[in-house]
C-alpha cells in the first residue's frame, strides 16, 4: 500500500524506514524544511518538506501520524474527509511486530514504570525491549533482525500516541493515574481521558487490565487487576517517594500478569535506580542537594516530587503553557518550601496562584538566574528542586534539554 508519514521526528522517521524496509511505497512529509532526511532518502522514501498540500494524499491508503502532529492538522483532516485511515506510529508498530506488549500509560510515572518493568524482565532472564514514548520508537523494533521471537515489548504510551490506535492490543495494559494534562491539545479532560483509555479497548478476556484501586470502568474485556501505593510488595523499591511506591505496585501487578516470578520482581525493585530527569540527584555541594525533576511537566507531577522530600525545599517552577490551573499546586505547598523561583512564560500564571495562596516568590526569568537565586538562600541539608510543573518549549527544545542544562549549571557551581 501507499502510506504517507506525517511528521519526521524520531517516531516518524522510524515509521517511514520500517515501511520502506518492507518494500512499501512511502511519502514522508514535514513542514520543517531543515529536517535531516538523509536516511529516508537513502532508503528510497519520497520526502516532501515544507509542503502539506492535500494533493499529497493522492493514492494514499493510510496516513501515519507522529505524536507531535495534532489531530486537527489540515492534512490529517483532509485524509479523514477522503476516508483515508489515520494511524498513530504505535498502531503501525503493533501491526508490524508479532510480539506481546505490556502497555503503560497515565498522566505521571509512565517512564519510571516502563523502565522498571524492563528491568524486572531482565532480572527474570526474559528477553524484552523497551520502546514507545520512553525514547525508542516502537516501529524501530521492526528493523531489528535479532529481536527474539519470544521477546516481550514494554511500551510507554502517551495520549498523543493512543488517540489514533485501531488494533493495538496490549496483553497487559497499565493505567497509572489520570489527572488534567495536555488540555491545550485535547481540548477537555474528557477527551484526554478517552484517549488514555483506548489502551484497553482491544483487550480480550485472556488479557489483563491494571488500574488504580477504585478506578471506574474501562473499555475492553481484559481481566481487571487493581493496585495501590500501600500494596504489599516482594521488596521495597530503591527509588524514593510515595508516588514511586505506587509506580512500583503497578509494575509488580503487570509483571505478575506477564508470568514473572516474585524473586525476579524483588530483584528489580531493589536494584532499579530510577530514570534521568525524574528526581535525579545531580550533585551535593556544600551540603545542599540539587535535584533534577525536569520531567515534572504538569502540576500533579510537581506535587509528587515535592512530597518525596522531608528536607527544606527551594523550588524552581515554570515553563511553557499547557492551559493548566496552578491553584491547587499553590494552595497545597507544604511549609518545608522555603523559597520559590519562577521562570518561563507561565511565570505570571504561577505568580497569580502563589499570590492567592499567600506564598512569596521571586521572578528569576531564566533557569540560570533561578538556580543562582536558590543557591544563595539554601542552607546545608536543603534541597534545590527543579520541578517545573510545566512543559519546556518556551526556553528549551524538550524536558531533557532543560534537565541537561540544569545539570550543566549545577556542575558549574563546583568551580
* Distance linking the first and last C-alpha atoms of the chain: 59
Tell me the pairing of strands 280-285 and 288-292. Answer: antiparallel
| Cβ count near 130 (within 10 Å) | 23
- Residues 65, 108, 133, 243: which is the catalytic one? 133
Active site residue 182: yes
Active site residue 2: no
- Residues 65, 110, 196, 341: which is the catalytic one? 110
Nearest partner of 66 among 99, 32, 97, judged by Cα: 32
Active site residue 110: yes
- CA-to-CA distance for 208 and 104, rounded, in angstroms? 12
- Residues 65, 108, 182, 243: which is the catalytic one? 182
Tell me the pairing of strands 128-132 and 101-105. Answer: unpaired
Catalytic residues: 110, 133, 182
Amino acid at each position: 500500500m501507499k502510506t504517507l508519514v506525517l511528521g519526521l521526528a524520531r517516531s516518524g522517521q522510524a515509521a517511514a524506514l520500517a515501511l520502506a524496509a518492507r518494500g512499501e511505497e512511502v511519502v514522508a512529509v514535514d513542514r520543517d524544511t531543515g529536517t535531516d532526511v538523509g536516511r529516508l532518502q537513502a532508503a528510497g522514501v519520497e520526502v516532501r518538506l515544507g509542503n502539506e498540500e492535500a494533493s499529497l494524499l493522492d493514492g494514499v491508503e493510510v496516513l501515519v501520524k507522529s505524536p507531535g502532529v495534532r489531530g486537527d492538522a489540515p492534512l490529517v483532516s483532509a485524509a479523514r474527509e477522503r476516508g483515508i485511515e489515520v494511524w498513530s506510529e504505535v498502531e503501525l508498530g503493533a501491526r508490524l511486530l508479532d510480539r506481546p506488549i505490556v502497555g503503560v500509560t497515565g498522566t505521571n510515572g509512565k517512564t519510571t514504570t516502563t523502565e522498571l518493568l524492563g528491568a524486572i524482565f531482565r532480572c527474570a532472564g526474559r528477553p524484552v525491549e523497551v520502546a514507545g514514548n520512553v525514547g525508542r520508537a516502537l516501529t524501530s523494533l521492526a528493523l531489528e533482525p535479532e529481536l527474539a521471537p519470544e521477546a516481550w515489548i514494554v511500551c510507554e504510551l502517551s495520549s498523543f500516541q493512543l488517540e489514533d490506535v485501531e488494533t493495538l492490543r496490549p496483553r497487559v495494559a497499565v493505567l497509572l493515574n489520570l489527572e488534567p494534562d495536555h488540555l491545550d491539545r485535547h481540548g477537555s479532560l474528557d477527551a484526554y481521558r478517552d484517549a488514555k483509555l483506548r489502551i484497553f479497548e482491544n483487550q480480550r478476556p485472556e488479557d489483563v487490565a491494571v488500574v488504580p484501586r477504585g478506578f471506574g470502568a474501562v473499555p475492553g474485556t481484559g481481566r481487571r487487576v487493581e493496585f495501590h501505593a500501600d500494596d504489599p510488595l516482594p521488596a521495597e523499591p530503591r527509588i524514593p517517594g510515595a508516588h514511586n511506591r505506587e509506580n512500583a505496585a503497578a509494575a509488580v501487578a503487570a509483571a505478575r500478569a506477564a508470568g514473572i516470578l516474585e524473586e525476579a520482581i524483588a530483584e528489580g525493585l531493589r536494584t532499579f535506580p530510577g530514570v534521568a530527569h525524574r528526581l535525579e540527584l545531580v550533585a551535593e555541594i556544600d551540603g545542599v542537594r540539587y535535584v533534577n525533576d525536569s520531567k515534572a511537566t504538569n502540576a500533579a507531577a510537581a506535587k509528587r516530587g515535592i512530597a518525596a522530600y522531608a528536607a527544606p525545599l527551594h523550588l524552581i517552577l515554570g515553563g511553557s503553557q499547557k492551559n493548566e490551573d496552578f491553584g491547587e499546586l499553590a494552595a497545597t505547598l507544604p511549609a518545608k518550601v522555603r523559597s520559590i523561583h519562577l521562570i518561563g512564560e507561565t511565570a505570571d500564571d504561577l505568580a497569580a496562584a502563589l499570590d492567592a495562596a499567600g506564598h512569596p516568590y521571586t521572578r528569576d526569568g531564566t533557569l540560570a538566574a533561578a538556580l543562582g537565586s536558590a543557591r544563595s538562600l539554601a542552607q546545608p541539608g536543603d534541597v534545590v528542586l527543579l520541578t517545573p510543573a510545566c512543559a519546556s518549549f518556551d526556553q528549551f527544545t524538550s524536558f531533557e534539554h532543560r534537565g541537561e542544562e540544569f545539570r550543566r549549571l549545577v556542575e558549574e557551581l563546583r568551580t
